[in-house]
Amino acid sequence: MLRLLADLYIQVKRQKDKWLYNGCVNLLRSIRYESLASGNTIRTPAKVTSSAGYEFLCSYNWVGSQEPRIYVPGSPRELDLKQEELPFTVPVDAGQSFIDQNAYKSRKHQFEPLFLALDIMKPDFKFNDVDLVADRTSLRRLMKFAAGKLGDIFRVDLRVVQNTLFMNRRERKSLTWASNNKSHHSYGFGFEAAVTRPLPGLEDSSSHHRIIQYQMGGLKCVVRYEVDVQLNDDNGKIETEVNYTPHSSDSLKNAPSEDNNGQRQGDFRDRIQVIQRGKHNPSAKIAEIKSQPLGKSSRRFLAYTPQLWFGRTPNLIYGEHKNGNFETVRVADFTEKLIRWETENQQALQKLTLLVTQLRYIASTNRWGCIAVHSTENPGVLNLYRPSREIQPISAKFIPVQWDGFKYVPRNINSKDT
């Protein structure tokens, strides 16, 4: 009986994980996480440090319309809560929510909105020396794999454009629905809506995304991530230790004006409508929002440190509740925690850079790119497959504009044994 139940569980699990292999043709190569140890590599990876800072490139908001539409530069929602408004109660989460709005609204070319925003805010930017373009989520998952934390299943679609590796994030589904069921104990979306407000003119926005560039060891990376909220100058009325000193890289030469409602008329606007609206916000003010039931250790919020580190997000807003009744909301400055986390996870970060460099090489040797899969059937092994069709992170029309023409020549400079 136990054997029968075990076999049934495996069959159900395989059916549930079937999406991981959609479009996979044949196995190209396998990378074991043990092979990323320094003793198995030809060279010692460079130290990974955030001390050199980063460069803000562009941003945009997705609009909650049926047609794909973005506001550039857009703006995140603003924290809007005073201490005297506590406590407050929110309903159980219900309705639809996006897991990956970029994949849902820009299905053919996931990074097209990035390039459309860049065309407005930094049109002279070139990708010739950029090694990697990825979403923050993809980097977090790959780092966990490189560190030997093998509980997650995931898939990343890889394609080298000129010299740059693009990582298309893949999810089982990009849109999900939450039922109005208190047994789920989910109040996160209601909490976020209760303590934030949209800026004027952006009321129909559904999310805000920022793109920054920084060095990660020997790799120059362009990273996209979603921002939950920005702090305002009134947040001193809530428990807070936030420093509002703007980041030096936040000045923009080509940023559009704050309330320009004109539609961008460019050669690249084939499917996504681009409207110039919103304002750029200093990076020191952006924050993530999280919540948890009252009584659980507040140290659980430290689990979000990797998310903050990869997005260079210095602040975390967190609330604690009992059945949706929030009694405390705090704004924490994570700057020192991010530095400490970077030091404590240096080995895993260096392994991540080795893994990314290997993936870049393997993807560059396959004309259509490749698909990286980590499954429960093969924990600790990242299998790379040939795709049944070409992976297209961006439209080909961007290439002559964003790259000064040269062809990347593959070089396997990483591991002796993958």
Q: How far is CA 345 from CA 26, 47, 141, 339, 367, in A?
A: 34, 11, 14, 10, 34
| Model confidence band, residue 37 (pLDDT cutoffs 50, 70, 90) | confident
Residues 391-408 have a mean pLDDT of 85
SS3 assignment for the chain? CHHHHHHHHHHHHHHHCHHHHCCEEEEEEEEEHHHHCHHHECCCCCCCCCCCCCEEEEEEEEECCCCCEEEEEECCEEECCCHHHCCEECCCCCEEEECCHHHHHCCCCCCHHHHHHHHHHCCCCCCCCCCEEEEHHHHHHHHHHHCCCCCCCEEEEEEEECCEEEEEEECCCCEEEECCCHHHCCCHHHHHHHHEECCCCCCCEEEEEEEEEEEECCEEEEEEEEECEECCCCHHHCEECCCCCCCHHHCCCCCCCCCCCCECCCCCCCCCEEEEEECCCCHHHEEEEEEEECCCCHHHHHHHHHHHHHCCCCEEEEEEEECCEEEEEEEEECHHHHHHHHHHCHHHHHHHHHHHHHHHHHHHCCCCCEEEEECCCCCCEEEEEEECCCCCCCCHHHHHHHCCCCCCCCCCCCECCC
Gap between the Cα atoms of 351 and 359, Å rounded: 12
Other beta carbons within 10 Å of 243 = 11
Q: At residue 16, what is the residue type?
A: K
Q: Please determine, for residue 3, whether its predicted confidence score (pLDDT) is greater than 70.
A: no
Gap between the Cα atoms of 72 and 335, Å rounded: 28
Lowest mean pLDDT among 30-39, 153-162, 170-179, 217-226: 170-179
Q: Between 3 and 204, where is the model more confident?
A: 204
| Model confidence band, residue 98 (pLDDT cutoffs 50, 70, 90) | confident
Domain map (residue ranges) of the chain: 22-389
Q: Model confidence over 99-152: pLDDT tens digits? A: 789 988 998 999 999 999 999 999 999 999 999 999 999 999 999 999 999 999
| Model confidence band, residue 95 (pLDDT cutoffs 50, 70, 90) | confident
